Structure 1
Amino acid sequence: MKHKGEKPRDPREWNPQLPAAISRLILKCLEKAKEKRFPTADELRAEIGAIEKGIPGTDKEKTKRKSLTSNEITVTFGLKKLFIPVVAAVAAIGLGLVLWRFVFLGQAVERSIAVITFQNQTGDKSYDYLQAAIPNLLISSLEQSKYLHVTTFERLRDLLRQAGKEQVDVIDSELGFELCRRDNVDALVVGSYVKAGDTFATDVKIYDVKTGKLLKSATARGTGAQTILDKQIGQLSRDISRGVGLSKKAAEEAEVQISGSQTSSLEAYKYFSMGKESLDKFYYEDARQNLEKAVELDPQFAMAYLHLYRVHINRNNPQLAAQALEKAKAYSTRAPEKERLYIEAAYARRVEKDTDKEFRILQEIAAKYPKEKEVRSSLFAVYQQKKMYPEAVAEANKALELDPKWAYILNQLGYLYIGMEDLGKAEEYLKRAVSVAPEDANPLDSFGYLYFLTGRLDEAIAQYKEAVRVKPDFGSEDIIAYIYAVKGEYAEALDWLDQFILASPSKNWQSLGYWWKAVFHHTLGQRKQAGMELARAEKAWESLGDKYGPAMAKLVQAHFYFEGGEYDAALRVFSEYQKDIQDAQPQAGRLAVTENDLWLALVEWKRGRIESARQKLDPIQILFSERPKDKGPIFAQLEKTYKILQAEIWLSEGRTAKVLDFLEKDFALRAPFIGPAYARILIWHNFPSEQDVLARAYQKAGHLDKAIEEYRKLITFDPASQDRRMHNPVYHYRLARLYEQKGLRPEAKGEYARFLELWKDADPGLTELIDAKKRFAQL
């Protein structure tokens, strides 16, 4: 029965020369789950044919043999047992032919080639975008040939950075030769385009890099710029493959392999290029707008959908991400091989939940395109998520060998070392990222996060402000506002939220700004204003069809009801939140269950049903004890809430000594992670807002000095601590009561004054406000 349960080994373990595509096909045939195997013999045969085309040969037939029948045979057999041997036979014969060709015919000699910026000779600057678009389209086309190793435009940019010429936009022939020699490229393609009336003509020249000799020149013409995409790219690609120095037979085979473009619209490609560039800089809103324009112009543009998927994942819009990925997969047959493999890798991960398959595909890309740095960053991310940190660092170093000044991977290494709690290394890599890209907002934003984690709040604010200066709509103002709230400077916090809303390029971000205003107004005792801001945010999110945003609004509303003593409403709204968050993030089911159980226990405790609350808490304790030490950012905050609730229950039961022993020895905060899902993390870091159980336990035990000391800690930021909770004005009121109890009237008056200053616009009927005003007047 071993064959039924044991996972098949990668065939390349016993034959490393076996191509990755063949290995993937064999493993798919051996899948245990029926739905993961090829459903029909036709699909298996088509895949074998596609692989066979990609393996160099010697004496291929120049034309396909005509079928022995005039029509496709359509007779079917009802017996399932007859179908299985047929599939097996097709697989065996097809794989045998493919393997025979690979083992016995060997690999043909490849030629490396680079295509540099084209010259715009139209006299019209509106066509400047073609200077990069035409080379990129030629590169995508030429990459289909197994005989050509094509230097991507991204690689040329890497080489420019290494040469200290990153500011160069247009690569002329002299610089092109220099870059090619630096990267050991065999042939260089230079080109230009001109317009006469409606006719567009594109000219290319192919040079031998070592000798400078002109190998071939070619021209393609057509009516209208669109013909560049429709026919000129294909024609020029074939001319280049003939002129680059391949043998006649290899050139002929290369021409067969060269496919059409990944899009049918030149205009769509322009917006795609701009979107991709913005995404590389983490300018998500710019990327979204350009990529959506690209798919509007070409609704079957697979790679534009893949990049849209990446935008939505990073913007924490899982539903929109899923829709974009499904469209990318549906139209992936139009994409060139490398791009199709990227789509398959993303699909394997997000839809098929098959991370092993994703990893195999990424390894295949790395093997086929050794100078493709993006695949190294993808492998880095896979290892990082699996917490295989040495392997992640190794992949990052491979990327840096290709481009030592790649700000993106330097930035990601910084985050990796933050996760490893090696903050010195993190700072080193983030400094390098900023130094190589000083006018890129993302490394500055990342540096702000590092300073936030290490307690350097003013330095964090300065870095985030610098990111906003570099890119006014980058969207760092909400974090600046939050840091001011941690400092207790709520006027500044609200001002920065107003700036965030005004600068927001999307309704989604504006809604987030209103959401934060609701949280801050609630903390300042302005409950009615908080409710209005929250309703505004939720309505705007719902109008976008977003599930995650309304879920966050409901989570906060449930906490508002909870703190206002409206427990039935709190339970109802939290149930609605649970439905929305599971619709938005169905993969996080266990997390939602934990949240729900914890919420029910909180409400039971607040209602005074202590025994019921304790019973609901027991299974949560088991769950947390079973999870690994690194529980993830949301689980870490839920565990904090669980421990506070456990202490509250013991305090309600009169077990004060146990509370003190538990919180003094076993309780520690963890600074929140600022990432795509940061809103949910920060809410659980801050709510329920009364997290002063240790101070109240000291007070109940008669240790007033220790209670005062604990409240002083709660209202005084400690850079050495992990506490990044918002400043809670109510703690000033409670500290003032303790000072008053101790007979320390000046100290009490000072704390009442601070509380009343923060709550100067609070709703008039709140108990703490009424009592503080009365006591302050008496002092």
Structure 2
Amino acid sequence: MPVRDVERVAILPFENLTGDASADWLARGFPAILASQWAGSKSMHAFPAASARDAYANRATRLLHGYLRRDTGAGRLLVASLEDLASVRSVSRFEIPAGNWFEAARRLASDVDPSARPFPVSRPELIPALLEARTPALAEAVAKDPSFAAAHLALVRQLGTAGQRAEALETARRALAAKLPAIEEAEMRLVISALENDLPGRRKAAESLAALRPSDADIAVGAALLATNTGDQTKAVALFEGAQRSDPGNADLWNQAGYAAAYAGDFDKARSMIGRYRAMLPASANPLDSLGDVHFRFGRLKEAEQLYLDAYQTSPTFGGGLALWKAALAAHLAGDAKAAATHAARFLEQREKAGDPTAPLRRARWEYLSGNRDAALARLANLSGPLPALLAAAWRADVSGAGSFAKPEQKAAYALELLLRRRFQEAEPLLREIKATPNREISDKAGFLLAGALLELGRKQEAAPVLAYWPIPDSDPDPLFETLALPRIAQWKRALR
């Protein structure tokens, strides 16, 4: 039988074979109670599943199913089987007297995993209110039993979803005052911080919850994404690695972790993780594209170019053929104008044949980026809309060294305008503000522009660590950044040599 760090246990609805309709709710009740009791396990992640198909879709490694039936005499018996899905073999079978169904669930949980915790409720007869999931029933349940942690959480979430923010926060704080168990307290603090739009609080609560639920990959991923968007890529990598331990069959985790490692400056780990992603999806273009991004980030531009071409060869329609555009950028920045022109021409021809309405604007962008500025501006003159107008104004300002194309409230564009006009001291605080944006890609771009401003101000030591890298090309590139910032980043990098 396979040995795994963490078993992913799908719990199917339990059947009620007692003939007593009042026990029908236990079909959903048992899976919810058991999953909660195993929430802190280091060796298994349990989750309710509607069917075996649902279990497989969620990469379950084991399946728990069972039923409640009458025993000889007047009693009831809880019968459950735990099966390994890879070997299609039974792991364990349980038969537990169920005169008290709540005690039977507790016994089953501890028999499967001795680390199981008690389900946090003092009055088990209130559990149907949790399954009913109606606000009045939940409110009544927590009023009758303040220790009913799951009902507190469900009620706060429902109030928040309904837009009743003040009521949700008041209810959440009352719940915390009732001394929730550690797991539910962390979950509640996560909900509160989301309601209060408190990003540092959300991150702290998410990481606490990930530590308390070490086998739940989804929670680790949520914490990792918060770390990523608040600039702590090293912590994000560690959290993604925890998620991989719990859900190694989730290919996307390896891709996300690879990007986090790239942003953290660890080329070998990034390449290794995305290499694992590629091994899991050998027919997909995306792993090759991701590897191209990693090599681009670390200045391995010719290797990035080839990986983008390999991605395009694998699937010419992947991302609308954008891998060719990325290959053109990589070749252009590597100084291979001929290869860059070839890749860009192929991409633009593909987009024009596909009837892409943005193809003329794309062609103008490439003309400008590759030095044919007059042709680019002439092409823009024939295009209508706010984006062509913005680009035309920005490019004219770039060519002439004068003019304005952005208002101060258009922070990213205005910061770029300040750089073009060499107003580096004014640009610095604005770029620091943008860099603090809780979005990895926006923050990263601002970081490169800030490094350029610092370099121009003579602060080479502050600029150099950032300019050791390249910004990863976006799947939907910002034309201002692409045509105006990338060439300057190349200049700044050359100035550091």
Specify the SS of the correspondent of 1:490. Answer: helix
Deviation string 1:255-310 (CA, Å, 9 cap, x unpaired) is 33324499xxxxxxxxxxxxxxxxxxxxxxxxxxxxxxxxxxxxxxxxxxx9xxxx
Aligned to 1:179: 62
Aligned to 2:254: 410
The alpha carbon displacement at 1:428 in A equals: 1.5
The amino acid across from 2:362 in the alignment is W
Counterpart of 2:266 (choices 422, 427, 430) is 422
What is the aligned residue count?
380
The amino acid across from 1:557 in the alignment is A
Aligned to 1:115: 11
Aligned to 1:574: 406
Aligned to 2:198: 354
The alpha carbon displacement at 1:370 in A equals: 4.3
Q: Is the 8 A contact 2:325 2:343 kept in 1?
A: no
The alpha carbon displacement at 1:514 in A equals: 4.8
Q: In structure 1, how many angstroms separate the alpha carbons of the residues matched to 2:221 and 2:465?
A: 38
Deviation string 1:707-739 (CA, Å, 9 cap, x unpaired) is xxxxxxxxxxxxxx889xxxxxxxxxxxxxxxx
Q: Is the 8 A contact 2:428 2:450 kept in 1?
A: no
Q: In structure 2, how many angstroms separate the alpha carbons of the residues matched to 1:639 and 1:512?
A: 32
Counterpart of 1:683 (choices 462, 471, 483) is 483
Deviation string 1:376-407 (CA, Å, 9 cap, x unpaired) is 12222333445545543432332122123433
- CA distance change for structure 1 residues 145 and 639 in 2, over 3 Å: closer, same or farther? same
Q: In structure 1, how many angstroms separate the alpha carbons of the residues matched to 2:311 and 2:304?
A: 11
Q: In structure 1, how many angstroms separate the alpha carbons of the residues matched to 2:188 and 2:346?
A: 42
Q: In structure 2, how many angstroms separate the alpha carbons of the residues matched to 1:412 and 1:667?
A: 21
User: In the alignment, does 2:93 pair up with 1:258?
Assistant: no
The alpha carbon displacement at 1:145 in A equals: 7.8
User: In the alignment, does 2:402 pair up with 1:558?
Assistant: no
Aligned to 1:517: 363
Aligned to 2:163: 330
Specify the SS of the correspondent of 2:265. Answer: coil
RMSD: 5.8
- CA distance change for structure 1 residues 376 and 624 in 2, over 3 Å: closer, same or farther? closer
Aligned to 1:597: 418
Specify the SS of the correspondent of 1:114. Answer: strand
Counterpart of 1:496 (choices 335, 347, 359) is 347
Q: Is the 8 A contact 1:414 1:429 kept in 2?
A: yes
Q: In structure 2, how many angstroms separate the alpha carbons of the residues matched to 1:213 and 1:327?
A: 40
The amino acid across from 2:305 in the alignment is D
Counterpart of 2:445 (choices 599, 608, 633) is 633
Specify the SS of the correspondent of 1:425. Answer: helix
Percent of aligned pairs with the same residue? 13
The amino acid across from 1:256 in the alignment is A
Counterpart mapping for 1:201-216 below 5 A? 207-209=80-82, 211-212=92-93
Q: Is the 8 A contact 1:145 1:257 kept in 2?
A: no
Aligned to 1:535: 384
Q: Is the 8 A contact 1:485 1:493 kept in 2?
A: no
Counterpart mapping for 1:664-683 below 5 A? 670-675=469-474, 678-679=477-478, 680-683=480-483
The alpha carbon displacement at 1:533 in A equals: 6.9
Q: In structure 1, how many angstroms separate the alpha carbons of the residues matched to 2:321 and 2:29?
A: 31
Q: Is the 8 A contact 2:255 2:287 kept in 1?
A: yes
The alpha carbon displacement at 1:638 in A equals: 5.4
Higher relative contact order (CA 8 A, sep 6+): 2
Deviation string 1:204-239 (CA, Å, 9 cap, x unpaired) is x962436536789xxxxxxxxxxxxxxxxxxxxxxx
Q: Is the 8 A contact 1:400 1:406 kept in 2?
A: yes
Q: Is the 8 A contact 2:306 2:327 kept in 1?
A: no
- CA distance change for structure 1 residues 636 and 140 in 2, over 3 Å: closer, same or farther? farther
The alpha carbon displacement at 1:373 in A equals: 0.5
- CA distance change for structure 1 residues 387 and 559 in 2, over 3 Å: closer, same or farther? closer
Q: In structure 2, how many angstroms separate the alpha carbons of the residues matched to 1:474 and 1:255?
A: 52
Q: In structure 2, how many angstroms separate the alpha carbons of the residues matched to 1:438 and 1:555?
A: 41
The alpha carbon displacement at 1:449 in A equals: 0.7
The alpha carbon displacement at 1:493 in A equals: 0.7
Counterpart mapping for 1:293-304 below 5 A? none
- CA distance change for structure 1 residues 560 and 362 in 2, over 3 Å: closer, same or farther? same
Q: In structure 2, how many angstroms separate the alpha carbons of the residues matched to 1:371 and 1:632?
A: 31
- CA distance change for structure 1 residues 206 and 141 in 2, over 3 Å: closer, same or farther? closer
The amino acid across from 2:416 in the alignment is E
The amino acid across from 1:459 in the alignment is Q
Aligned to 1:462: 309
The alpha carbon displacement at 1:114 in A equals: 3.1
Q: Is the 8 A contact 1:329 1:347 kept in 2?
A: no
- CA distance change for structure 1 residues 379 and 624 in 2, over 3 Å: closer, same or farther? closer
Deviation string 1:636-670 (CA, Å, 9 cap, x unpaired) is 235437867x89xxxxxxxxxxxxx9xxx999775
Deviation string 1:341-372 (CA, Å, 9 cap, x unpaired) is 989858946x8452332034324643665432
Normalised by the size of structure 1, how large is the TM-score?
Answer: 0.38
Q: Is the 8 A contact 2:285 2:314 kept in 1?
A: yes
Q: Which has the larger radius of gyration?
A: 1
User: In the alignment, does 2:280 pair up with 1:436?
Assistant: yes
Q: In structure 2, how many angstroms separate the alpha carbons of the residues matched to 1:666 and 1:371?
A: 36
Counterpart of 2:239 (choices 395, 398, 401) is 395
The amino acid across from 2:384 in the alignment is A
Q: In structure 2, how many angstroms separate the alpha carbons of the residues matched to 1:496 and 1:353?
A: 42
Q: In structure 2, how many angstroms separate the alpha carbons of the residues matched to 1:595 and 1:434?
A: 37
The amino acid across from 1:330 in the alignment is G
User: In the alignment, does 2:65 pair up with 1:188?
Assistant: yes
- CA distance change for structure 1 residues 482 and 637 in 2, over 3 Å: closer, same or farther? same
Specify the SS of the correspondent of 1:430. Answer: helix
Q: In structure 2, how many angstroms separate the alpha carbons of the residues matched to 1:465 and 1:362?
A: 38
Q: In structure 2, how many angstroms separate the alpha carbons of the residues matched to 1:141 and 1:620?
A: 59
Q: Is the 8 A contact 1:519 1:530 kept in 2?
A: no
Q: Is the 8 A contact 2:193 2:202 kept in 1?
A: yes
Aligned to 1:737: none
- CA distance change for structure 1 residues 373 and 593 in 2, over 3 Å: closer, same or farther? same
- CA distance change for structure 1 residues 362 and 502 in 2, over 3 Å: closer, same or farther? farther
The alpha carbon displacement at 1:526 in A equals: 1.7
The alpha carbon displacement at 1:252 in A equals: 2.8
The alpha carbon displacement at 1:622 in A equals: 8.8
Specify the SS of the correspondent of 2:10. Answer: strand
Deviation string 1:742-776 (CA, Å, 9 cap, x unpaired) is xxxxxxxxxxxxxxxxxxxxxxxxxxxxxxxxxxx
The alpha carbon displacement at 1:503 in A equals: 6.7
Q: In structure 1, how many angstroms separate the alpha carbons of the residues matched to 2:382 and 2:28?
A: 51
Aligned to 1:704: none
Counterpart mapping for 1:31-430 below 5 A? 114-116=10-12, 142-143=31-32, 148-149=37-38, 179-180=62-63, 187-188=64-65, 207-209=80-82, 211-212=92-93, 244=105, 252-260=125-133, 330=163, 345=190, 348=193, 352-363=196-207, 365-366=209-210, 369-388=213-232, 391-430=235-274
Specify the SS of the correspondent of 2:406. Answer: helix
